[in-house]
Structure 1
Amino acid sequence: MKMMDMKTEIISRKCIKPSSPTPPHLKTFKLSLLDQITPDLHNNMTFFFSASQSGDHNHNHTISQFTTKSQLLQKYLSDILTLFYPFAGRFQDDTTVLCNDDGISFVETRTDITLSDFLRHPDLSSVDHHLVPTYDPKTAEELTSMSEGCMVLIKFVSFSCGGTALSLSTSHKLIDLATLITLLRSWSSACRGSPDPIIPDLYTAASLLPPKEIPDTTGSKIIAEKKFASRRFVFTPSKIEELKSKLFTALGYHVSRVEAVTALIWISAANALKCKTKSFMPTLMVQAVNLRTRMEPPLPESSIGNLMWMFSVIVEKEKEMELQELVKKLKGLKKSVNEKVNKFKGEDVVGLVEESLKERVECLEQRKDNLVVYICSSWCGFPLLETCDFGWGKPAWLTSIAKNLMTNTVYLMDTKEVGGVEALVHLDEEEMNLFQSNQQLLQFASVNPDIVV
């Protein structure tokens, strides 16, 4: 499916507000320290749903079903926004949200193709250009003034067959992946008629990590934006077991599927870089870690805000650039994370954050000409597909594309087939051409296979 083969048409634009006004004493919402230092970039996620199994997919019936689903989504979104009221507000500054009930953008769109055609070797650029409710007003024709400053933008898309896509664009300054899942869980359960609302924990993050006066952290943006290519790679459960077995033979101990896949992508990317530059360069692998589950005692899963931190491991010498050596480094990083993570609950947490940011910036400034950084975020184990059932079945597929992504980023997520991993890889265009032809990688991964609906 080529991007130019797909046409979309906007049906409506709406602003969804909380079904009841936010009380005056809740008008100012305090962000946490980690929210404070997170830039206001938007992350996107798109869920694809098969047509309802009624067997009747004539044009009028398809429109009627889409309208019914859209009205359901809008009604219960309005209801749950009374619980997630900061999401309907606007950032006042780096430390506060004005909970003014300005609402969130909801756009309805239809397209002239079927979902099965779209998911036949899905084109990520088509997701980006047609399905994502982008935050950039210069490149998004559907944006209106009402969506400026929105923390959440939503697009609901009707395919000609009756299938649908639901895209969410959310501000990373307040909403990390676990926060998004809490929002989706509350919204979807309300749509299914659950009598017990899922209530977000709005205050734990700021009470644990209150905002403070800290030095400018703009230098913590560790990779400059540039033109890059995005590709999708799928590791089936059988191929992952084959890879893990190979690593067990070499190491003598078991590794997780995320460690195995991350190491394989890392070495393949580094080899592509070496082929391009004709020389070895040290590389740094940065991994995003959810702090909620690793603290003792664990924080509530429903805790809202950025309760995550970036940890990293470096390869300085070419002889270390072997698959099993990278797995060893990732194992060591995991152990280090588990030892450090509870410091985020200590009295000097602000000092810890400042020190960590300073070290990160200094390292990158000193090594900027001879250090290549990769960022890997694993969503494996997060119940995204299971959570996103609004009453017409679980998604057939989900993906994440964003215009403001940085190159050298990797996102790992579960496949519908239990035990599999799907990787979204973003690299320099020349490096991607080398990466996707790497035979060691292709021994275990398929490039953009069909999605069956």
Structure 2
Amino acid sequence: MKIISQETIKPSSPTPSHLKTHVISLIDNNIPHSPVPFIFFYNNYEDGDINNLKKSLSLCLTQYYPFAGRFLVPNAGQIDCNDEGVAFLEVAHETRLDDFILENENDESIRQLLPDFDKNRSSLIHVQLNHFTGGGVALVVSISHKAARGGSPFKPRFYTSPTSHNDVVELFEPKSTNEETTHEVVKFVLKSFVFPNSKLNDLKKEVLRSMGMGVRNPDLTRVEVLTSLLFKCAIDAATTRSGTDDSQEIALHEVVDKLRKRKMECKYERNVQEIGEKHARLMPMPAKEHVYWSTSFCWFPIYEVDFGWGKPVQFKYVVEEVHVKNFVLVDTPERDGIEATVRLPEEEMMIFQQDKRLLAYVGA
């Protein structure tokens, strides 16, 4: 990796004095100032487009001025909209775009594309343009989790979308094994699975039959059933690896049912203080065996993000915490299914990817 250039992009016009202080919500103030990276891969980038990109970013910062500011102090709950700008880095890699996309199951290869957040923690946004040999780029926009919440914990708890604030859902807590927490170095791997809509519809029908309901229920979503399936298969893999195979006691339809009931309860919560306290309890996630994060970008216009290079050929979202197991759900480019990117310890992934129940719903 070779750094081509680095600079700070500032708003194209100054922020008015009456907008100099931006107060963030109680919920967001309970969230750590950590990076949330969004990675867009394009194969039609042309040299010279970099100046247009910087100009567009500068114009956007005028409209979204808090992102060009700085937190007054870590937990003050306020952003000083001082127009200091955002970090912008341009980097070259000695690999081809197509090869990188095919081989990026290794967690470390994805992280090569990410800005070094710790080198400039004051910036609320880091942008890094990664050039590949032979053409094509990966544009990374890494936003402070505290400034714009973009992730969702699943312990097993679940947020239906990365921008909704009031849909925290508690599911099943796995049985405690009373084992001491170890600090061994664990290698994590990424693997993507594509689930066609036709097979997700079959999964929904199976869940509805198990619930004793008709095969038609417009309220049961693809995200609900797929997240529940991924969670159950991941728990199966973890317990099989550890030799404590008690996960079979949790039926798939029970996971879905519990999820939906808690979502309905949370839907009508209006007490901001209580919601904020829930988030505060969720965020210091302990490094336990059965801790998962799940994020859904389904129905977000991810593949419509066009910087003048056409639509992205691939999209990735990375959870920056080193020892976090997670699922990320994104619509396929043609919206004919869901691509799930799963991050698990290597030993658990070897079991997970061979789960026959999971593979029954994966596309050919």
Measured against the shorter chain, the TM-score band is 0.7 to 0.9
Cα shift at 1:158: 2.2
Unaligned runs of 5+ in 2: 152-164, 166-180
Q: Does 1:19 align with 2:1?
A: no
Cα shift at 1:406: 4.5
Q: Does 1:133 align with 2:93?
A: no
Q: Does 1:350 align with 2:273?
A: yes
The residue type equivalent to 2:79 in the other structure is V
Divergent runs of 4+, >6 A: 223-226, 358-362
Q: Residue 119 of structure 1 aligns with which residue?
A: 101
User: Relative to structure 1, is the Cα distance of residues 351 and 436 closer, same or farther in structure 2, using a 3 angstrom cutoff?
Assistant: closer
The residue type equivalent to 1:232 in the other structure is S
Kept in 2, the 8 Å contact 1:224–1:406? The answer is: no
The residue type equivalent to 1:429 in the other structure is E
Kept in 1, the 8 Å contact 2:319–2:326? The answer is: no
Separation in 2, partners of 1:115, 1:170? 24
Q: Does 1:411 align with 2:328?
A: yes
Q: Residue 83 of structure 1 aligns with which residue?
A: 63
Separation in 1, partners of 2:350, 2:198? 26
Q: Counterparts of 1:28-177 in structure 2 under 5 Å?
A: 28-51=21-44, 65-67=46-48, 69-93=49-73, 94=75, 95-125=77-107, 127-137=109-119, 147-177=120-150
Cα shift at 1:358: 7.9
User: Relative to structure 1, is the Cα distance of residues 121 and 239 closer, same or farther in structure 2, using a 3 angstrom cutoff?
Assistant: farther
SS at structure 1 position matched to 2:115? coil
Q: Residue 420 of structure 1 aligns with which residue?
A: 337
The residue type equivalent to 1:399 in the other structure is K
SS at structure 1 position matched to 2:7? strand
The residue type equivalent to 2:255 in the other structure is L
Cα shift at 1:224: 11
The residue type equivalent to 1:353 in the other structure is G
Q: Residue 445 of structure 1 aligns with which residue?
A: 362
Q: Does 1:325 align with 2:216?
A: no
Separation in 1, partners of 2:317, 2:112? 13
The residue type equivalent to 1:243 in the other structure is L
Separation in 2, partners of 1:242, 1:76? 44
Cα shift at 1:391: 2.0
SS at structure 1 position matched to 2:291? strand
Separation in 2, partners of 1:351, 1:243? 35
Separation in 1, partners of 2:128, 2:280? 39
Separation in 2, partners of 1:267, 1:148? 36
SS at structure 2 position matched to 1:399? strand
2:240 pairs, out of 272, 275, 294, with 275
Cα shift at 1:262: 1.0
Separation in 1, partners of 2:148, 2:275? 22
User: Relative to structure 1, is the Cα distance of residues 324 and 352 closer, same or farther in structure 2, using a 3 angstrom cutoff?
Assistant: closer
SS at structure 2 position matched to 1:131? coil
Separation in 2, partners of 1:248, 1:168? 39
Structure 1 or 2: more helix by fraction: 1
Separation in 2, partners of 1:374, 1:164? 30
SS at structure 2 position matched to 1:82? helix
Q: Does 1:399 align with 2:322?
A: no
Kept in 2, the 8 Å contact 1:17–1:102? The answer is: yes
Kept in 2, the 8 Å contact 1:48–1:395? The answer is: yes
User: Relative to structure 1, is the Cα distance of residues 361 and 129 closer, same or farther in structure 2, using a 3 angstrom cutoff?
Assistant: closer
Separation in 2, partners of 1:361, 1:407? 12
Identity of aligned residues (%): 33
Separation in 2, partners of 1:123, 1:10? 24
Q: Residue 229 of structure 1 aligns with which residue?
A: 189
Cα shift at 1:17: 0.7
With 424-433 and 147-156 compared, the bigger mean Cα shift is at 424-433
Task: Compute the TM-score of the two structures, normalised by the length of structure 1.
Answer: 0.65
Q: Does 1:243 align with 2:225?
A: no
Cα shift at 1:352: 5.2
User: Relative to structure 1, is the Cα distance of residues 78 and 337 closer, same or farther in structure 2, using a 3 angstrom cutoff?
Assistant: same
Q: Counterparts of 1:333-348 in structure 2 under 5 Å?
A: 333-340=262-269, 343-344=270-271
Cα shift at 1:70: 1.0
Q: Counterparts of 1:168-247 in structure 2 under 5 Å?
A: 168-177=141-150, 227=186, 228-247=188-207
1:385 pairs, out of 281, 303, 319, with 303
Task: Compute the TM-score of the two structures, normalised by the length of structure 2.
Answer: 0.79
Cα shift at 1:329: 1.9
Kept in 2, the 8 Å contact 1:281–1:372? The answer is: no
SS at structure 1 position matched to 2:112? helix
Cα deviations by residue, 1:11-33 (Å, 9 ceiling, x for unpaired): 11111011122233332222211
The residue type equivalent to 1:41 in the other structure is S
